[in-house]
A and B are shown apart, each in its own frame.
Chain A
Amino acid sequence: MNGVRGHARVWIASRWDSFGLPALISILLVTFSLLSSTFASGFNLLSNLAFSSLVGIGAIGMVFCIMSGDFDISVGSMSALAGVLGASLVGRIGGVGAVLVTVATATVCGFVNGVFVTKLKIPAFITTLGMQYVYRAIAYIYTSNTPVYIKDPFWLFLGSGTVLGIPFPIIITVVCFAAAVYVLRKTSFGRYVVAVGTNKTAAMLSGINVDFIKNMVFVLVGFFVGIATVVTASYLGSVNPGMTGQGYEFQVITVVVLGGTALTGGNGNMLGAFFASLFLTYLQNGLGLKQVNSYWQFVATGLVLIFAVGINRVKSALLGQREA
């Protein structure tokens, strides 16, 4: 492409992955701040930053999974089961133990999904569609469809406490994303995940244990959903077998795709998922503070998603990359 306009487009395209969403978020923050001084208050900005962690943390594992060429729609039900199991054991094993049980349960659920996909060769969509019913049903049966309340001070601190004025969920999010980015970019595991998602056969032929990688990404999905469940349960003060995690899978996948990771697999954008969760949270928050009808907020979210995927396509075309 020639000319100033052409150069400008290529310039933007090459920087979109790193700065596109942050730029959009900045524009969003400035716009809503001008429209509402309540939006711009430190309290509002921080509390929504914490709120974004509920979906953001859960998205980390999903980024790995989608990059490897699969996805997991059982995460909402996983969250319900892990949450009720952990919460119900607080009396017997204490807050710390119960939190660990929650994370462990979700991780095991992820492992089970991974086994179905790798060893039994059942496609991820079918597996996780089926397990979506199974996990939630177990949660219903285990609790007789009654919510489990959390009164343990340790657990409640994880979602509502602050350290030096910073809500604790933000600290958890930062640590999780930092670890995830490190694993993805600085370890061979991360490279193998990208390889498997880009071309499974080529990866296998080059000696990568594809089954192990695929199984591990599902384990990661479960692990991070477990952490997100702990924070959510703390935020709400209870876990409800019917309500916890309803629609969670769609929120998580939206955030992953909006962040720049293509559903077709291959390289993705881990930090993008973080920014996407911020963007959607502040968008919903800003519109809500201006008393915009909630249904228009859904319209906004849908349009943003389409816009983001569209931008990714244009960017790939401009840079001559493989169609994502």
Chain B
Amino acid sequence: MHLTDDELILHHYGERAPTDTAGAAAHLETCRTCGAAYAQLQRTLAAVDDSRPPEPPAGFERAVWARLQPELEHRQRTWLAWWVFSPARLALVATLALLVAGAFLAGRMSTRPGAAPDPVATSKVRERVLLADLGDHLDRSQAMLIELVSGGAGASGMSAERERAEQLVSDNRLYRQTAAATGNAALVTVLDELERVLVDIAASPDVASANDLEQVRREIDTNGLLFKVRVLSSDVRERQRAAMRLRTGQSS
């Protein structure tokens, strides 16, 4: 009785009961058909052993670190230090504080005691907080992408762009998380794409070769990222203006 393919595989990996293993080994010694099949299986698996998975691209470690660092810093800092050290975040907190104070005063003047908070109003407040700084962030990102695409950056070294990109990655992550919390999937998608490119720029070498720069440009061109950021930025600005008009109209 010959050994089946499955039995040969189990035998190879030592997954058979000891008595079966001994029996199979004895059979393989004497049966030429099974012996040949087993030798073929061993050659197949040896070839698999010799194969190597693809190497990650050059600069991979730097890219990993650029993605990881903000997460680690987030864990290291106390929440107070985390907010205080970044002007953009400080501005976000100030905006939030003003909105909360405004909402509180408005509530005192207009809401009946004991009334539950209006979830629609709460969501609008969150959206306004997000819009307040997002426009600036998109403009700064857009400016950097344009410089890189037009060849105005990187010629004399990438260290300045890298620093800008590192800051933008950190801010972008905050906006992306806020957008996710407010359920704005379209915004999350564009910010996610933007973040990938920013991470790559943050991970670029000090002296970028023409190839490196070309790769960054290609990445920006792919999926029309610059166009998407531009559209998003103008949309955000328009929504900010609409929100402003609404508030001015309500207060007058």
A and B held together in a complex: no
Chain B interface (Cβ < 8 Å from any Cβ of A): none
Chain A interface (Cβ < 8 Å from any Cβ of B): none
